[in-house]
Amino acid sequence: MATETPPLSELIDFPSPFTFRAVASSRLSLAEECRSLVEGTIGRKADQVQVQASSKGAFSSVRVTIVVRSPDEVTGAYGALKSLDGLKLLL
């Protein structure tokens, strides 16, 4: 029997810092693209942006941390990040 995932409003106390993580094909502009998509959707500046390249350099993981105030901001930012070229994974 599958269990239902509880809504975000039950998992996160809003407002709260939240880290979006995107793994995509490496390129110089990837961190700025992720920052721009998240900030543009949420309407506030990110607190932190971190990038880590894969061991062979083909992919990069970008983490964007920002304060979210509602579940809609979380789902909206994930929706925007889905438009990244070369996207492999969202966490």
What whole-number distance in Å separates Cα of residue 50 and Cα of residue 4? 32
DSSP state of 85: T
The CATH fold assigned to 13-90 is: Alpha-Beta Plaits (3.30.70)
Q: Rounded mean pLDDT of 62-89?
A: 97
pLDDT of 2-58, one tens digit each?
A: 688 888 889 999 999 999 999 999 999 999 999 999 999 999 999 999 999 999 999
| pLDDT at residue 2, rounded to an integer | 67
Q: Using pLDDT thresholds of 50, 70 and 90, give the confidence band for residue 1.
A: low
User: In the predicted model, is pLDDT for residue 88 greater than 70?
Assistant: yes
58-81-78 Cα angle (round to 5): 130
